[in-house]
Amino acid sequence: MVEVAVRREASIAHVDLDAMFAAVEQRDKPSLRGRPVIVGGVAGRGVVATASYEARRFGARSAMPTAEARRRCPPGTAFLTPRFPAYRKTSEVVMALLGELSPLVEQVSIDEAYVDLAAGGHELSSAGIRALGEQIKTSIAAATGGVTASVGVGTSKLVAKISSDLDKPNGLTIAAAGQENALLHPLPVTRLPGVGPATADRLHRSGIHTIGQLAGASLPQLLDWFGQAHGAGLYRLARADDDRPIVSEREAKSVSAEETFDADLTDRARLGTEIDLLATKVGGRLRDGGMSARTVTIKVRHHDFTTITRSTTRAQPTDQPRLIAQLARRLLADVDTSAGIRLLGVGVTALADFVQDDLFGTPEPDETSKEPATVPGREPGDQHTAATVGLWRPGQDVRHDVHGPGWVWGSGRGLVSVRFEGPTTGPGPVRTLAADDPALHAAEPPDWTSPGK
């Protein structure tokens, strides 16, 4: 098998912050350090955004329903709503550090980025790259108050990204030029981007379980199984053939998909199905580009070729096909389709470089959630506790005029329990207050660099 190296040296780094949301929570909340922490939607149909490594030992993971994570994790596990301003602030510090290393940094999400080390003029010997990787990890931990990163370095984005995931947390994996296949081939095919459950199942039925076995499949076989685009992509990726450049600025302003029908459609159920299919394409393209969007637009062309558009904008960006479809369906509900629809399109604009979404279970306005109130004094995440009640959300930053800064431990029945501590104070006491205490205020995320905060 011919080794494929897009570059002569391993000079593309993928930097991935380890369980970032949970790590920031543990940094800012000393009492949670070393304990299981779940960040995500805490009510109704909530979904886990991030599970700390302590929680992962019990089987909790990202994208798992929060209800399932509650069943798996022990009493005392903290279930917290996301604090995106805190995560964004940490992300900005990290990206600024990476920007000092190279003029070519491609941020692909709030917690990961590619760095072109060659463009930074660094010494690219094996020893030089290893020293630089260790420097990146050390600098990030120091600048973020202890949030760690795992770093992978390779000759391509593919190899760098897979490498960064092999030794988490706080790991460093370097795939030298010419060693790409040695690194990739023993790994399961699910490590490759684009190999989801359906693709993996088809490969497994053909006896292909590892990337090396996939590399042994012929191009005609893969084209027959998966079609031109997907089959050719798998053929290349299994051979570490990835020449994608690092792009420091995003040029895309919108992402869309549309379908022209052979016969004009009037059936609402069929149109709803088409919306779902188009939203799936749009969401996939957003994720492939590491982007999200706030504005959803539908395009409708009638039987007489008149064309209309309808749009709606959310407060937070998303890359979730389900939500894109939900919003597009609402827009279509206000359009008269009785005379027939010739073309239907779904698009998104107001793009962002990463998702800052609270939809990990936070219901849309037309959804309802009936979750029992938190019992003050119980551990956050206790099987008998819940989350969002009234104004106070679990994990929310607050400040009391007398007791100082802290965070919401639990709320309900007209009360709110607050743990008064910060990233540099050590574990603090819990006090239960009236939920409408005029001395209690919502606050900005604490400053992890200032003593006593």
Residues designated catalytic = 112
Q: Which residue has the tokens 């939203």?
A: 279
Cα dihedral: 186, 15, 106, 245 (round 10): -30
354 Cβ neighbours under 8 A, 6+ residues apart:
91, 107, 108, 109, 110, 111, 290, 291, 292
Instruction: Determine the 3-state secondary structure of 50 from DSSP.
Output: strand
In DSSP notation, 197-257 reads HHHHHHHHHTT--BHHHHHTS-HHHHHHHH-HHHHHHHHHHTTT---PPP-SS-----EEE
Angle between helices 219-226 and 228-237 (to 10 degrees): 140
Compute CA distances 402 → 324, 420, 441, 448, whole Å. 44, 11, 11, 21
245 Cβ neighbours under 8 A, 6+ residues apart:
none
How far is Cα 161 from Cα 38, in angstroms, rounded to an integer? Answer: 24
Residue of 67, 92, 85, 86 whose CA lies nearest to 77? 67
In DSSP notation, 292-325 reads EEEEEEEEEEETTS-EEEEEEEEEEEE--HHHHH
How far is Cα 372 from Cα 374, in angstroms, rounded to an integer? Answer: 7
Strand pairing partners for 311? 297
Q: How far apart are the first and last CA of the chain?
A: 57
The token duo for 223 is 């084209």
Residue of 228, 223, 296, 307 whose CA lies nearest to 256? 296
